[in-house]
Chains A and B, each alone.
Chain A
Amino acid sequence: MTIDRHRKDDGPLKPVPDGPAPEPTVQRLRVRYAKRGRLRFTSHRDISRAVERAVRRAGIPVAYSAGFNPHPKISYAGAAPTGVASEAEYLEIGVNRPCDPRRVRDDLDASLPPGLDVLDVVEARDGNLADRLEGSMWELRLPGADPGEAERAVKEFLAAGLVEVERLTKKGMRRFDARQAVRWLAVVEEPGIPAGQETVQPCVILRMVVRHETPAVRPDDVLMGLRLVAGFAPPSPPAVTRLAQGPLDATGEPADPFAFDRAGGDR
């Protein structure tokens, strides 16, 4: 028990650990990573454990919080749900020695299991990363669904002013509107299938851009909305992938949330 670093204004002295204080954060690194294939079954907690261990194995000089139970300074923004794949997950690492973002990208990627893949690392400028993640673009693959029915359902959904859906949350069944958060929604063609290669099963692909709100509107909420407005009911559960996250502007697609950091400008 030594100095009163943690003294509250009005409270008693809080005990603090003996020994030196942890080294301060000198740099924050913003990381975009993907959650692919089998690793889409990881939960947010699974990922945070995997990242903490990978950071240790990679020897990245992560900063720690003070106190009796120091935590590595790694924060996560808007993680995709368990079972959902993503090309655009974000986290931020505080380090106590300046690092080259490119080297961190390579080292962390090599250290993470295949399927958790580091795509981009930038040095953070001002501002809060989570605030820049205003919306997401999602892709839903619906094997065995009828393309015509999907088109009709999308049209009716977009024409509606309000589509109330229900979801079981920790606080019980909640009713909320799934329409207003949807900025853009369309049936798209299967991209990149080589000519002549037949798909085994016809697959309807939906893409949507959804604004992050409270309560969060998830892709499966939109899917429920399509069923409610037009009776669209695909025969099997969707394979969902988050394609992008970022600031929403008039164009519809989320912009690059790192653009500001990369430009090196200040706000």
Chain B
Amino acid sequence: MSVESLFPRLEPLLPKVQKPIQYVGGELNSTVKDWDEATVRWALMYPDAYEVGLPNQGVQILYEILNELPETLAERTYAVWPDLEALMRSEGVPQFTVDGHRPVRAFDVLGVSFATELGYTNLLTALDLAGIPLDAVDRTDEDPIVLAGGHAAFNPEPIADFLDAAVLGDGEQIVIAISEVLREWKGEGSPGGRDELLLRLASTGGVYVPKFYDVEYHPDGRIKRVVPNRDGVPTRVFKHTVMDLDEWPYPKKPLVPLAETVHERFSVEIFRGCTRGCRFCQAGMITRPVRERSITTVGDMVEAGIRESGFNEVGLLSLSSADHSEIADITRGLADRYEGTQTGLSLPSTRVDAFNIDLANELSRNGRRSGLTFAPEGGSERMRKVINKMVTEEDLIRTVTTAYSNGWRQVKLYFMCGLPTEEDEDVLGIADLAKKVIKAGRDATGSRDIRCTVSIGGFVPKPHTPFQWAAQSDHETVDRRLRALRDALRSDKEYGRAIGYRYHDGKPSIVEGMLSRGDRRVGRVIRAVWEDGGRFDGWSEHFSFERWMAAAERALADVPVDVDWYTTRERDEHEVLPWDHLDAGLDREWLWQDWQDAVNSVEVEDCRWTPCYDCGVCPTMGTEIQIGPTGRKLLPLTVI
């Protein structure tokens, strides 16, 4: 049965909303496949506004891979702003995809990519607008399988009630496998309805189906155990790891929107994974091991991406881009290739290292050297040892001195507040550091025209990291330290004016903390917040701490846990954590040891250059480190 486009019903609403172009679709390189010729139909959602969701690499990669499959189609949907939501409700227009403007409920799978937990309320809005029951147990064979992925899906328990399934890790291969299971099941006439389908997915061991697991609690509120409640369901679900990124050179044809978005550039992931071992960093823990894309594939992808998109900026993405084994050849090769073509190159996520200045100089040939960003993360030497961010004050001063001497005028420094074992003096140390940075810059250049910006946010302990057991700092402490730091920076007449200060207050971190390390009981809080009007929690103008706290009070009234229990409480070694049955490959005992090492300020090296320290990922997942050098170079492009 064919599905009609909703666009004729949507169109009259568009003149009444802000930025209507975001709902129109028609992006360059987007695809609208024939509905009836496909057997398996995916709606892919990024649960935030179009301007944030469109550039998301994960969604673009899966969209392209799925649409390349025969008998499979994929369309995209994003969170609609409250102005359109109100009109859609009054006019009865359901949640739609921006490609074919088809109703989301008509698809087989609604795949939602959660980069952050703050998209959870937007998931509920989309389900509700789509006419899909919020609770997975209320869904029928007419509803799509609601499937979560992305980093937040490594603990999907807080949204377990709203999900049919979740996948952990790299999506490229598992979406193909899921499509195949769906195609077979539909080909057999959909035997046994959605439960049979979910069982087939769960039995692969690569798809987590929350309702096939029962959670039992101790009287004090801690989890007793999580066990499968039917045969054929594995006790643990494992993450997916794509080996050989050269085999998966996506996106090949980046989506080019008409509407303005947060990243107006073509991005190429130059490697995946990071083993620097920063203990706060969930991404670094759950994406191991390091797998590099080769210099030549990176060069080919940049060339094709620019040609297909017309973008004038290229970002070389990864968790620590300067760590690619051939990064110097990549940056020099690309800078040579695109010299004089008005194509900008950027290298986000770099470490505090003078080598980075060489790279940055290369990328800014002929351009203005305005600002460089470094992330020492911790304000004191001790703090940086706790978090395993191996940067000494000497490293930092040497790096910024090189930067200022090379004509860079502004240095931005990123820090976190509320880290485990942190004392006031660790945060106040940031003020001393910033002053030394300015002094180094003035000494190096003989000029007073240099600046340093300190940017600081609250730390949130994350699952699958050594800090998963840690007590999160309460927001009063975080806010007090942030104020003290501001005063310390401003009080100094000699340096104060040269130092900028940006900070995020501590309250949103508490909500993020509850959602990050929450269990299934937190789902009630999310639902209560959403019913009270909570939307777009990642946007400060929409986020309401008071709404979250009031909802938590109500929703958790009959259980022995509360917001503090989820956030500021330290866990002991043997407490069952809500995500313990979800396996990122990290050995739990290694994580615990790393947590103990953190408290004792013991550092751990990067396993790319030192012997394996048995984090557990490679043997558990059957993976290995894939790094160069390949010894190849980027040749000049022949002019067509």
A and B are partners in one complex rather than unrelated chains? yes
Residue numbers of A with Cβ under 8 A of B are 17-20, 38-39, 41-43, 45-46, 49-50, 52-57, 59, 64, 68-70, 72, 82-83, 111, 113-115, 236-237
Q: Which residue of B lies closest to A70 (CB)?
A: B342
Are A46 and B21 within 8 A (Cβ)? yes
Q: Which residue of B lies closest to A114 (CB)?
A: B26
Are B368 and A115 within 8 A (Cβ)? no
Asked if B12 is an interface residue, CB under 8 A from chain A, the answer is yes
Q: Among B15, B21, B310, B340, which residue has its beta carbon within 8 angstroms of that of A56? A: B310
- Segment 299-321 of B: residues with Cβ below 8 Å from A: 306-312
Residues on B with C-beta less than 8 A from A59 are 640
Are B310 and A57 within 8 A (Cβ)? yes
Q: Which residue of B lies closest to A82 (CB)?
A: B20
Q: Which 6 A-B pairs have the closest CB atoms?
A: A53-B310, A68-B368, A19-B366, A57-B310, A41-B20, A56-B310
Are A57 and B368 within 8 A (Cβ)? no
- Segment 1-59 of B: residues with Cβ below 8 Å from A: 7, 11-12, 14-15, 19-21, 24-26, 28
Are A52 and B310 within 8 A (Cβ)? yes
Q: Among B26, B260, B312, which residue has its beta carbon within 8 angstroms of that of A45? A: B260
Decide: A53 near B20, CB < 8 A? Known: A38-B26, A41-B14, A42-B258: no
Residues on B with C-beta less than 8 A from A50 are 258
Residues on B with C-beta less than 8 A from A236 are 12
Q: Among A54, A69, A70, A113, which residue has its beta carbon within 8 angstroms of that of B26? A: A113
Are A237 and B15 within 8 A (Cβ)? yes
Q: Interface digits, B592-624 against A, CB 8 Å rule (1 contact, 0 not)?
A: 000000000000000000000000000000000
Residues on A with C-beta less than 8 A from B570 are none
Decide: A53 near B12, CB < 8 A? Known: A18-B366, A113-B26, A114-B26: no
Are A46 and B260 within 8 A (Cβ)? yes
Are B310 and A46 within 8 A (Cβ)? no
Q: Interface digits, B238-251 against A, CB 8 Å rule (1 contact, 0 not)?
A: 00000000000000
**Distance of A55 Cα from B311 Cα, bound (Å):** 11
Residues on B with C-beta less than 8 A from A41 are 14, 20-21, 24
**Distance of A53 Cα from B343 Cα, bound (Å):** 12
Are A17 and B24 within 8 A (Cβ)? no
**4 other A-B residue contacts (CB within 8 Å) besides A46-B259, A113-B258:** A19-B365, A52-B312, A53-B256, A113-B26
Q: Which residue of A lies closest to B256 (CB)?
A: A53
Q: In the complex, how many angstroms separate the beta carbon of A2 from the nearest chain B beta carbon?
A: 11
Q: Which residue of A lies closest to B312 (CB)?
A: A56
**Distance of A49 Cα from B21 Cα, bound (Å):** 13
Q: Which residue of A lies closest to B18 (CB)?
A: A82
**Distance of A64 Cα from B306 Cα, bound (Å):** 18
Are B20 and A49 within 8 A (Cβ)? no
Residues on B with C-beta less than 8 A from A54 are 310
Are A83 and B366 within 8 A (Cβ)? no
Q: Which residue of B lies closest to A54 (CB)?
A: B310
Are B309 and A68 within 8 A (Cβ)? no
Q: Among B20, B28, B307, which residue has its beta carbon within 8 angstroms of that of A113? A: B28
Q: Among B7, B14, B264, which residue has its beta carbon within 8 angstroms of that of A49? A: B264
Residues on A with C-beta less than 8 A from B260 are 45-46, 49
Residues on B with C-beta less than 8 A from A56 are 306, 310, 312
Are B26 and A43 within 8 A (Cβ)? no
Could you say which of B258, B306, B340 has the most chain A C-beta atoms within 10 Å of its C-beta?
A: B258
Could you say which of B12, B310, B311, B368 has the most chain A C-beta atoms within 10 Å of its C-beta?
A: B310
Could you say which of B21, B24, B25 has the most chain A C-beta atoms within 10 Å of its C-beta?
A: B21
Residues on A with C-beta less than 8 A from B312 are 52-53, 56
**Distance of A50 Cα from B260 Cα, bound (Å):** 10
**Distance of A69 Cα from B366 Cα, bound (Å):** 10
Asked if B446 is an interface residue, CB under 8 A from chain A, the answer is no
Residue numbers of B with Cβ under 8 A of A are 7, 11-12, 14-15, 19-21, 24-26, 28, 256, 258-260, 264, 306-312, 340, 342, 365-368, 640
**Distance of A114 Cα from B24 Cα, bound (Å):** 13
Residues on B with C-beta less than 8 A from A39 are 24, 26, 258
Are A83 and B20 within 8 A (Cβ)? yes
Q: Which residue of B lies closest to A51 (CB)?
A: B310
Q: Which residue of B lies closest to A83 (CB)?
A: B15
Residues on B with C-beta less than 8 A from A45 are 260
Could you say which of A45, A49, A83 has the most chain B C-beta atoms within 10 Å of its C-beta?
A: A49
Q: Which residue of A lies closest to B307 (CB)?
A: A57
**Distance of A52 Cα from B342 Cα, bound (Å):** 12
**Distance of A93 Cα from B102 Cα, bound (Å):** 38
**Distance of A146 Cα from B306 Cα, bound (Å):** 52
Cβ contacts A to B, 20 pairs, < 8 Å:
A17-B366, A18-B366, A19-B366, A38-B11, A38-B24, A39-B26, A41-B24, A45-B260, A46-B260, A52-B310, A52-B312, A56-B312, A57-B307, A57-B309, A68-B367, A82-B21, A83-B20, A113-B28, A114-B26, A237-B15
Residues on A with C-beta less than 8 A from B259 are 46
Residues on A with C-beta less than 8 A from B258 are 39, 42, 46, 49-50, 113
**Distance of A70 Cα from B24 Cα, bound (Å):** 31
Are A42 and B21 within 8 A (Cβ)? yes
**Distance of A54 Cα from B28 Cα, bound (Å):** 10
**Distance of A20 Cα from B309 Cα, bound (Å):** 27
Residues on B with C-beta less than 8 A from A82 are 20-21
Residues on A with C-beta less than 8 A from B640 are 59
**Distance of A16 Cα from B342 Cα, bound (Å):** 16
Residues on A with C-beta less than 8 A from B308 are 57
**Distance of A38 Cα from B28 Cα, bound (Å):** 14
**Distance of A260 Cα from B306 Cα, bound (Å):** 37
Q: In the complex, how many angstroms separate the beta carbon of B401 from the nearest chain A beta carbon?
A: 20
Q: In the complex, how many angstroms separate the beta carbon of B505 from the nearest chain A beta carbon?
A: 31
**Distance of A54 Cα from B311 Cα, bound (Å):** 9
Residues on B with C-beta less than 8 A from A57 are 307-310
Residues on B with C-beta less than 8 A from A115 are 26
**Distance of A9 Cα from B148 Cα, bound (Å):** 63
Could you say which of A39, A41, A46 has the most chain B C-beta atoms within 10 Å of its C-beta?
A: A41
Residues on B with C-beta less than 8 A from A19 are 365-366
Are A53 and B309 within 8 A (Cβ)? yes
Could you say which of B19, B306, B342 has the most chain A C-beta atoms within 10 Å of its C-beta?
A: B342
Residues on A with C-beta less than 8 A from B28 are 53, 113
Residues on A with C-beta less than 8 A from B309 are 53, 57
**Distance of A50 Cα from B27 Cα, bound (Å):** 10
**Distance of A266 Cα from B397 Cα, bound (Å):** 63
Residues on A with C-beta less than 8 A from B24 are 38-39, 41
Q: In the complex, how many angstroms separate the beta carbon of B537 from the nearest chain A beta carbon?
A: 27
**Distance of A111 Cα from B26 Cα, bound (Å):** 14
Q: Which residue of B lies closest to A53 (CB)?
A: B310
Q: In the complex, how many angstroms separate the beta carbon of A82 from the nearest chain B beta carbon?
A: 7
Are B310 and A17 within 8 A (Cβ)? no
**Distance of A231 Cα from B640 Cα, bound (Å):** 63
Residues on B with C-beta less than 8 A from A20 are 340
Residues on B with C-beta less than 8 A from A55 are 310
Q: Which residue of A lies closest to B11 (CB)?
A: A38
**Distance of A236 Cα from B307 Cα, bound (Å):** 43
**Distance of A46 Cα from B259 Cα, bound (Å):** 6
Q: In the complex, how many angstroms separate the beta carbon of B311 from the nearest chain A beta carbon?
A: 7
Q: Among B12, B19, B368, which residue has its beta carbon within 8 angstroms of that of A69? A: B368
Residues on A with C-beta less than 8 A from B14 are 41, 83
**Distance of A20 Cα from B25 Cα, bound (Å):** 41
Residues on A with C-beta less than 8 A from B7 are 38
**Distance of A7 Cα from B258 Cα, bound (Å):** 38
Q: Which residue of B lies closest to A46 (CB)?
A: B258
Q: Which residue of B lies closest to A43 (CB)?
A: B21
**Distance of A34 Cα from B24 Cα, bound (Å):** 17
Q: Which residue of B lies closest to A67 (CB)?
A: B368
**Distance of A83 Cα from B309 Cα, bound (Å):** 25
Are A17 and B367 within 8 A (Cβ)? yes
**Distance of A185 Cα from B346 Cα, bound (Å):** 54
Residues on A with C-beta less than 8 A from B366 are 17-19
Residues on B with C-beta less than 8 A from A49 are 258, 260, 264
